[in-house]
Amino acid sequence: MNNSPLQASLAYAHDHVESFIEQYKALLRIPSIGADPAYRDDVRRAAEWIVAEMERLGIENAQILETKGQPAVYGDWLHAGRDAPTVLLYAHYDVQPVDPLDLWITPPFAPDLREGKLFARGVIDDKSGVFVHLKAFESVMSANGRLPVNVKFIFEGEEESGSPTMEAFIEAHSALLAADVAVISDGGSSDDTPRMMASVRGIVTAEVNIHGPARDLHSGSFGGVVHNPTHMVGKIVGSLHDDEGRIQIPGFYDEVVPVSDAQQALIKANEANAIAQAREETGLETFWGVPDYTFGERATARPTCDVNGIYGGYQGRGAKTVLPAEAGFKVSMRLVDNQDPTDIAKKFTAFVSSFACDTLQLDVEVLSSSWPAETLISGPIARAVIEAYTTTWGKAPRMERGGGSVPIIGMFQHVLGIPVVSMGLAQGSNAHAPNEFYDLAYFGPNVDTAIHFLFNMAC
């Protein structure tokens, strides 16, 4: 048993965990803020660092692949044999901006170790996903000279910007990225129980602008004869839902399919906890929404349409008798399986256009969109992840359905046509906030988890 390839790999990882962490700091020092053009060269430098590390480890075809946005990094090792599965390992190396900078105890790109925690921007979101997979590869390769499965790595540089050019990129490289499963390693959990994402919702964001007269007018001179754009905003916004919260956009629910039994069981199991947590976070006792569904269903398994902001007319103190020239609002719609964001964007546009009249001009602009997705939580691939955690941590991972959106998951499912499983490889907190940290007591276990997963996939 001690001489098995798995044990040899784990032994290598355990012997090198200190040097792994030292090396991790070099990647953390590169300020790869993907959303800020001022850091363009640093983003590329981070991509180049990863390519160089891949080459050092014996990962083949290591290269930067250009996108229309930030560079992606690819590498593979495909010598496990034709019968062995091929896994596509995904993480992102771009990081969130760092402001407010004065709230950081130590600078965000000067990794600092305090009380067993490593502080740096991106340390858990998501350079950890990149680095832990590379160290798992290194451990298995150094110990055995080969891997039990074929692996492909794809590391993104624009996740924190919403992956705007990744769908076209994946389409263009679909043959190169072909695999049996995509493993998403983005973030992790904030306590000592590892976490698997079970679902994400898709999203469509849009803005509606309504134009009336050429300039703001006096309501005394023109009230009653000029159509007021804010009235139209109120009319459209008021028509989005019925009194119980059902969305009134024609055809909006047409493609929604009921969640699987396994996912439904997850919703049920987490229902009480989800309500308690929501009460704490919102300060509300009573919640809202379509009464035909439970809280857990409404929060993760049903689509939404929320107005995020309304503008128009005078917002200052006291009265001002203005008849505004324009008004508008912004919406975000969260989508669930198997809604198509393009279809929903069309239906929303048609709904707004149905209010068209001779006296106002209505403009709809779709701002962004992404697919909803469910990830694997049962079956052999999910079991390979669950057992990797269970063996390492002595307990099963927490599976959580999410109400938010991770665009890349739907892209892998829809463009590559492969299943996706989530495997978080970080323990810590403050992602997207000052003083992001990784609790290093769990760094080794996360490398172990990634190693176990490769061997579990080979069985």
- Residue (126 or 448) nearer to Zn ion, CB: 126
Residue with tokens 């540089």: 157
Q: Which residue number has the CB closest to Zn ion?
A: 126
Minimum distance from residue 128 beta carbon to Zn ion (Å) = 9
| Rounded CA separation 89/149 (Å) | 12
- The single-letter DSSP state of residue 303 is -
Residue in 118, 58, 94 with CA at minimum distance from that of residue 444: 118
Strands 181-184 and 86-92: parallel
119, 105 in Cβ contact below 8 A?
yes
Q: How far is the CB of 95 from Zn ion (least distance, A)?
A: 9
Minimum gap (Å) between residue 55 Cβ and Zn ion: 25
Burial of 190 (0-12, 13-18, 19+ CB in 10 A): middle
Q: Choose the binding region for Zn ion from 8-16, 104-112, 126-134, 190-198 (rule: CB under 5 A).
A: 126-134
Query: What is the nearest approach in angstroms of Zn ion to the Cβ of residue 349?
Result: 30
Q: Cis link prior to 100 (omega < 30° from 0)? A: yes
Grouping H, G, I as helix, E, B as strand and the rest as coil, residue 140 is helix
CB of 393 to Zn ion, least distance (A): 21
Angle formed at CA 204 by CA 326 and CA 404, multiple of 5 degrees:
125
Using CB under 5 A as the binding rule, whether residue 125 contacts Zn ion is answered as yes
Among the listed residues 167, 186, 337, 436, the single contact to Zn ion using CB under 5 A: 186
The residue range among 78-86, 138-146, 184-192, 263-271 that interacts with Zn ion, by the rule CB under 5 A, is: 184-192
Residue 111, CA distances (Å) to 244, 345, 383, 410 in order: 50, 43, 35, 33
What is the CA 218 to chain-centroid distance, rounded?
47
Q: Which residues pair with 312 in a beta bridge?
A: 327
Complex with Zn ion: residue 32 or 209, whichever CB lies closer? 32
The minimum distance between CB 352 and Zn ion, in angstroms, equals: 33
| Region near Zn ion per CB under 5 A, out of 183-191, 236-244, 402-410, 446-454 | 183-191
- Which tokens belong to 343? 């279809």
Q: Binding-site residue total for Zn ion (CB under 5 A)?
A: 3
Residue number with CB closer to Zn ion (407 or 445)? 407
Region 198-237 residues binding Zn ion, contact defined as CB under 5 A: none
Q: Which helix or strand (DSSP H or E) is residue 153 part of?
A: strand 150-156
Q: Which of 126, 156, 297, 436 binds Zn ion (CB under 5 A)?
A: 126
Q: Which is nearer to Zn ion, 125 or 138 (CB)?
A: 125
Element (H, E) at 44: helix 40-57
- CB environment 130-165: b (16+ within 10 A), e (fewer): bbbbbbbbbbbbbbeeebbbbbbbbbbbbbbbbbeb
CB under 5 A: which stretch of 75-83, 170-178, 182-190, 216-224 binds Zn ion?
A: 182-190
Q: Give the shortest CB-392-to-Zn ion separation in angstroms.
A: 22
| Options 181-189, 336-344, 361-369, 382-390: segment touching Zn ion (CB under 5 A) | 181-189
Nearer to Zn ion, 160 or 340 (CB): 160
Q: Which stretch binds Zn ion (CB under 5 A): 121-129, 190-198, 434-442, 444-452?
A: 121-129
Burial of 175 (0-12, 13-18, 19+ CB in 10 A): exposed
Residue whose CB is less far from Zn ion, 126 or 158: 126
CB of 101 to Zn ion, least distance (A): 20
Residue 50 vs 364, nearer CB to Zn ion: 50
- Whose Cβ is closer to Zn ion: residue 126's or residue 138's? 126
94 binds Zn ion (CB under 5 A): no
Q: Which helix (H) or strand (E) holds 199?
A: strand 195-200
For the bound state, the minimum distance from the C-beta of residue 328 to Zn ion, rounded and expressed in Å, comes to 31
Q: How many helices (H) and strands (E) does the chain have?
A: 13, 19
Torsion of CA 245, 250, 255, 258, to 10 degrees: 20
Smallest distance from the beta carbon of 69 to Zn ion, in angstroms? 16
Cα(331)–Cα(320) distance, integer angstroms: 27
In this chain, which stretch among 119-127, 194-202, 308-316, 401-409 interacts with Zn ion, using CB under 5 A? 119-127
CB of 188 to Zn ion, least distance (A): 10
Q: Does 448 bind Zn ion (CB under 5 A)?
A: no
Among the candidate windows 186-194, 235-243, 257-265, 286-294, which touches Zn ion by CB under 5 A?
186-194
Of 125 and 297, nearer to Zn ion (C-beta) is: 125
Interface residues with Zn ion (CB under 5 A) are: 125-126, 186
